[in-house]
Structure 1
Amino acid sequence: MTKTLYLVRHAEAEKPAGGAYDFQRVLTSQGLIDAARMGRLLAGKDVKPAVLISSPAERTTMTAQVLAEQLHIDFHQTVFLEKLYEGAPRHYLSAINELPETASSAMIVGHNPSITYLAEYLCHEILGNMPTAAVVAIEFANLKWAEVSNRTGKMIFYDSPEKLAGFDLP
């Protein structure tokens, strides 16, 4: 069975203010708009991940919530993994390898640079630097989640708010 993974970088967040913790940074108004726009784009592609995973940081949580609303999936079922906050790509990969086989698709909302490095590692595509709210869809043909590794995926699409500038979405 083909598996599909959606890797999402959190939307634009406020810069850390004096004394504020990085973990608590919230989305800017533009970040909220971009997350909703990307959610509408994904909904238009009939994306409906069976599993939604997020770093527990405020900006990733907010991004995941906006996406869940747009995709009409239950945000309360989101799996929050501490290892994704400040985690290396191997932490993201272990989250993928631990997905239940019953799930044909999953979405991970995380942080750069790890989310970009992971996408490049999985599908051997040069993405550069995923902008905020960007999403990469990767398919894995005839693999179990535990078998997902270097160059085992094929990039299906890569979109970002910048790429959608000038396009009207429902």
Structure 2
Amino acid sequence: MKKTLVLVRHATAEDQNFRTKDFDRNLNSKGLAEAEAMGKWLAGSGIRPDVFVTSPASRAYKTAEIIAGELGVNASSLITNAEIYDGGPQSYLNAVNAVPENFSMLMLFGHNPDITYFAEYLTGSNLGSMKKGSMAMIDFEGLNWAEISAKTGNLNLYKTPREVREAE
């Protein structure tokens, strides 16, 4: 059975300053608009993940919450995984490998540079650096979630908020 992983980098957040911990940085107005645009595009494209896993950091969680809302999914069904925040690409792989087999599409929300490294690790593609609010859709043929590892996926689609807005 085909598995699809949709990796989403959090949308644009407020700049880091001495008053706010990195973990607590919120989306700014641009980021809120980016997440909404991506959610609407995903909904219009018929992309419907079965399960949503997100870093608990404020900017990633809010991105997940907005996109899930645009897809008609209640935020209470979002699964947070604390390792994704600063656990490196291995934490992303651990999260993917732990998905129950009854799900065929996972949407995972995280942070750069790890999310870009992870996408490149899975596909062998060179993405450079995933833009804020962008998504990479990766397909895996004939694999269980637990079998996904280096270069087992095919990059099916990479989309940025700018591309989505320009297509409107």
TM-score scaled to structure 1, two decimals?
A: 0.96
CA distance in 2, matches of 1:165, 1:77: 28
Q: 1:79 maps to which residue? A: 79
Q: CA deviation at 1:41?
A: 1.1
Q: What is the DSSP-based 3-state SS (H/G/I as helix, E as strand, rest coil) of the residue aligned with 1:162?
A: helix
* Alignment partner, residue 29 of structure 2: 29
Matches within 5 A, 1:33-48: 33-48=33-48
The 5-angstrom pairing of residues 93-108 of structure 1 reads 93-108=93-108
Match of 1:68 in 2: 68
Give unmatched runs, 5+ long, in structure 2.
Answer: none
Quote the offset at 1:44 in angstroms: 1.5
1:157 match: secondary structure: strand
Structure 1, residues 33-62: CA drift from partner, whole Å, max 9, x if none?
001101111112211111100000000110
Aligned equivalents of 2:78, 2:141: Cα separation in 1: 25
What value does the CA root-mean-square deviation take over the aligned residues? 0.9
Cα deviation 1:85-130 (Å, max 9, x = unaligned): 1121011001000000000110000000010000011111100000
TM-score, normalising length: structure 2: 0.97
Partner Cα distance (2:100, 2:166) in 1: 39
Q: How many equivalent pairs are there? A: 168
Structure 2 Cα separation of the partners of residues 147 and 16 of structure 1 = 37
Gaps of 5+ in 1: none
